[in-house]
Amino acid sequence: MYNKEILVGKIEDMFKELRIQSSEIIAIHSDATTASKMIVDAVSSETTIRSKTLLTDMYACLSEKTLSSPSFSDAERKSLFYGANIRGQILSKYQFDITTINAFQNGLKYKEFDQLYSSLAVAAGTAAIGGILKYVLVNAINIPIVVIIAGAVTAFCISFFKGIPLLNKTAFRKAIDEFLTETKNEFILWFDEIEGYYNKCIDKID
């Protein structure tokens, strides 16, 4: 069965590792733009890869529970479940392919990730990454999750360094820690939304 405590623990481990990686990047690099870009790449690629694995694991537990329930005991109901392809629906919403960011980077400059994220924030009615990921879940938005996360991190970095010409490593490290903690909490809420989406899809199966 789906165990939320295990999921939350894995999300916390992921962001703990990202805080360590980010701290190491800040320690090595003195240029704000270089450090920011490396953190953007690290956070966006790692969260994309790990999120797909976590989502797949969660789906496997949820689907096992569904198919073992009395309401899906006969072959016809099971066939309807498989035909709904809920897993495919969710994965296609977010396009979990980190290689797609290269295509976006070829056409977008670093600061344009911020503009892209800002446009999504306006459409979603929130700048919180969890709210934007929820918006993507229920709307047709053809933007890969790796780009959305890259946009969130870029927006944070640009906001932090606005008007600051030099990299204050201590302040930046503290700000990144706070940002990643907030993002971790948003990710936990996002997985709750995905579970809710799954349940709604199940309810629609006749």
Q: What residue segments make up the domains of the chain, in order of their start?
A: 4-204
In single-letter form, the type of residue at position 59 comes to Y
**Which pLDDT value is given to residue 62?**
94
Q: How high is the pLDDT of residue 182? A: 93
Does pLDDT of 109 surpass 70?
A: no
DSSP string, 55-84: HHHHHHHHHHHHHTSGGG-SHHHHHHHHHH
pLDDT of residue 139: 83
Mean residue pLDDT across the chain? 87
Average pLDDT over residues 83-111: 73
pLDDT at 126 over 90: no
For residue 195, CA distances in Å to 123, 147, 188 come to 23, 23, 11
**Percent of the chain with pLDDT strictly greater than 90:** 50
Residue 106 confidence (pLDDT): 54
The number of angstroms, rounded, from the C-alpha of 26 to the middle of its chain's C-alpha atoms is 23
Whose CA is closest to 175, among 186, 193, 192, 161?
A: 161
Asked if pLDDT for residue 49 goes beyond 70, the answer is yes
Q: Which two tokens stand for residue 86?
A: 């809920």
| pLDDT for res 104 | 53
pLDDT reported for residue 20: 96
Q: Over range 153-166, report the average pLDDT.
A: 81
Residue 164 has pLDDT above 80, yes or no: no
Q: Indicate the SS3 state at residue 31.
A: coil
Enter the pTM of the model: 0.85
Q: CA distances (Å), 137 to each of 44, 91, 111, 124, 192, in order? A: 18, 10, 25, 11, 12
**Residue 144 binned pLDDT confidence (cut-offs 50, 70, 90):** confident
51-60, 90-99, 108-117, 153-162: lowest mean pLDDT where? 108-117
